[in-house]
């Protein structure tokens, strides 16, 4: 029997993980707000007012908006640990079906911030992609990935949206538990 050694791959989401998507979208929406309308504090979801959803769609249709998203410190803290532990770091991001400009903007952002040689997978289903570690803020994508990875480790950058999420294979990184993240990533390499 041939035994294959699995590569130490860490998959990094972009929006809400390496990029501060929510802050950027809220700021862009505020720039379009009429002085007479109430301030929208987000996040933009399916139950948000229709005019807010339509404005958000217009904002997200701009390649440059995606290409210039600000960095999110929590995600970059985790990336620094992953680099230190010599993981092969890859971007795993969801590509909106109806917004091909987001795909182009994300690629430009990656090239500017991580380098043109960075491996990228843009997918609709993160559960299909192998890695020992997934760094992602969104429970829906995490659940799908964990379904196929009984030994997988997820590091979840903390946000208001995932505050109540719990799973035995998930560490929620708050900015105060970086040593716990490091130790878990070291153990994951040995699996």
Count Cα atoms within 13 angstroms, Cβ side, for 8: 13
The tokens 């109430």 sit on which residue? 38
Q: Which is it for the CA torsion 165, 87, 130, 67, positive or negative?
A: positive
Cα 156 from Cα 165, distance rounded (Å): 9
How high is the pLDDT of residue 186?
98
Neighbouring CB atoms inside 10 A of 79's CB total 19
How high is the pLDDT of residue 42?
77
How high is the pLDDT of residue 96?
81
Q: Where are the alpha helices (DSSP H) in the chain?
A: 21-32, 50-60, 63-67, 73-84, 100-113, 139-147, 178-189
Return the CATH superfamily for domain 9-21+69-189: HAD superfamily/HAD-like (3.40.50.1000)
pLDDT tier at 142 (50, 70, 90 boundaries)?
very high
Q: Reading across the β-sheet that carries 153-157, which strands appear in turn?
A: 119-123, 88-94, 9-12, 133-135, 153-157, 170-173
What residue spans define the domains of the chain? Answer: 9-21+69-189, 22-66
Entry pTM: 0.93
Which of 3-12, 47-56, 128-137 has the weakest average pLDDT? 3-12
């Amino acid at each position: 029997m041939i035994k294959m050694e699995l590569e130490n791959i860490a998959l990094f989401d972009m929006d809400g993980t390496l990029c501060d998507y929510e802050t950027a979208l809220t700021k862009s929406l505020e720039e379009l707000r009429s002085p007479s309308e109430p301030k929208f504090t987000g996040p933009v979801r399916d139950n948000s007012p229709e005019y807010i959803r339509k404005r958000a769609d217009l904002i997200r249709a701009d390649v440059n908006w995606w290409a210039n998203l600000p960095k999110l410190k929590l995600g970059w803290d985790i990336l620094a640990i992953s680099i230190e532990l010599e993981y092969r770091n890859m971007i795993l991001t969801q590509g909106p079906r109806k917004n091909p400009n987001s795909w182009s903007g994300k690629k430009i952002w990656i090239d500017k911030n991580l380098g043109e040689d960075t491996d990228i997978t843009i997918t609709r289903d993160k559960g299909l992609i192998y890695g020992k570690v997934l760094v992602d803020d969104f429970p829906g994508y995490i659940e799908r990935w964990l379904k196929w990875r009984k030994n997988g480790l997820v590091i979840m950058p903390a946000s208001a949206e995932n505050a109540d999420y719990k799973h035995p294979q998930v560490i929620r990184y708050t900015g105060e538990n970086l040593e716990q993240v490091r130790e878990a990533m070291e153990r994951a390499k040995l699996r």
